[in-house]
Amino acid sequence: MRTSDRPGRLAVGVLGAGRVGSVLGAALAQAGHHVAAAAGVSEDSRRRAAERLGIGLSRPEDVIRQAELVLLTVPDDVLPGLVSGLAATGVDLRGKMLLHTSGAYGLGVLEPATAAGALPFALHPVMTFTGRDDDLRRLVGCSFGVTAPEVLRPVAEALVIEMGGEPVWIPDEDRALYHAALAGAANHMVTLIAESQELLRKIGVEHPGRMLGPLLGAALDNALRLGLAGLTGPVVRGDAGTVRRHVDALILAAPEAADAYIALARLTADRALAAGLLKPEAAERLLDALGGNTWT
C-alpha cells in the first residue's frame, strides 16, 4: 500500500508558505498527507511552495476550501488578524482543522474560527528554521509544544509524531510562559554570543568563534546535564573584584553590553545564592561590585 493510500490521510493547506510552513507541509507530505494548496505574499514563499511542496500559490480562501488541515504559519503579530479575517469572509470553516505554530499563542487566538466550526490546534516546533535544506531533517526528534482541546489531543500528538517530532503537552494558560522560557534561552543566547564575538574582534582576536566554540559547547553541556550545579565563573566563585573589572571594561568599550552583563550577573548571583552555591557574604560583595540594589 502506498503511504498516500493509508486511511486518515488529509488534504493539507498552508497559509504562510515561509520557512516554517513549507517545512511542516513537506513533513506532512512525507507522512503521506497531500498538500493541496498554499498561500503566501513574497517571492520567497512562491519559491518555497514550488520547491518544497510542488505547488503554486493560491488565495487564502481557496486554500481553506481545498484543505481539511490548514497550517497557519504566519508571524505572531499577523496571526490574530488572519484568523479574524478568515472568519469574517464567510468561508466555510466547519470541521476544518486549523493549526497554528506560534509558541506564545494558545487556543484563544483561534476563537473566531472555532466559533465558526473550526477545530483548533496549537503545535509549536521547538526549533529554529533558517530556510536551508536541512530544516526538514531538524524536525526529527524535535519537541513540539502541543495545545488542543482534550478531545483532540490524540490527533494533535499523532500529527507531531508523523512529522518526526516529539509531542510535549502545554496547558493553554501556560503558553506565554512556555514561549518566554524558550525565547529567553535560544534568542538571547545568540545575542550574547554575537556580542562576545564582537568584543573579542575589537581587541584583535581574528577567529572569536573558534575561541568560544569549545567553551560554549562545554557550558551548554554542563547546563543541560547538571542545571545550576554546572555553573562556573567569577560570579559563583564570589570574585567581586573580577566582576567589577568586567563592568568597568564594558562601560568603556560597550555601555549597552555593560547593562546586560550587570543584569545577568545579578540574576546568576541570585540563583547561586538560593541554591547554596554562593555564600551570603560573597553575594553582598558582588552586589556592591554591581552597583547596589537589593536581591530579588
Rounded CA gap, 290 and 278, in Å?
16
Q: Assign domain 177-289 to its CATH architecture.
A: Orthogonal Bundle (1.10)
* Three-state secondary structure call for residue 56: coil
Alpha helix (H) ranges present in the chain? 19-30, 43-48, 60-66, 79-89, 111-115, 135-138, 153-162, 175-202, 208-226, 234-237, 240-253, 255-274, 280-289
The distance from CA 111 to its chain's CA centroid, rounded to whole angstroms, is 23
Residue 285 neighbours by CB under 8 Å, 6+ apart:
238, 240
CA dist., res. 113 & res. 72, Å (int): 12
Q: Which residues of the chain have pLDDT under 70?
A: 1-8, 292-296
Domain with CATH 3.40.50.720 in the chain: 3-170
Residue 26 CA to residue 238 CA, distance in Å, equals 51
CA 272 to chain centre: 27
Q: What is the pLDDT of residue 7?
A: 54
Q: How far is CA 172 from CA 7, 122, 148, in A?
A: 30, 9, 8
Query: What pTM value is reported for the model?
Result: 0.85
Kindly report, residue by residue over 32-62, the tens digit of the pLDDT.
Answer: 999 999 999 889 899 999 999 999 999 999 9
The three cell numbers of residue 183 are: 525565547
pLDDT at 288: 93
| Residue-wise pLDDT tens digits, 91-127 | 999 999 999 999 999 999 999 999 999 999 999 999 9
Q: Where in the chain is the domain with CATH 1.10.1040?
A: 177-289
Instruction: Mention the CATH class of domain 3-170.
Output: alpha beta
pLDDT value of residue 5: 52
What local confidence, expressed as pLDDT, does residue 22 receive?
95
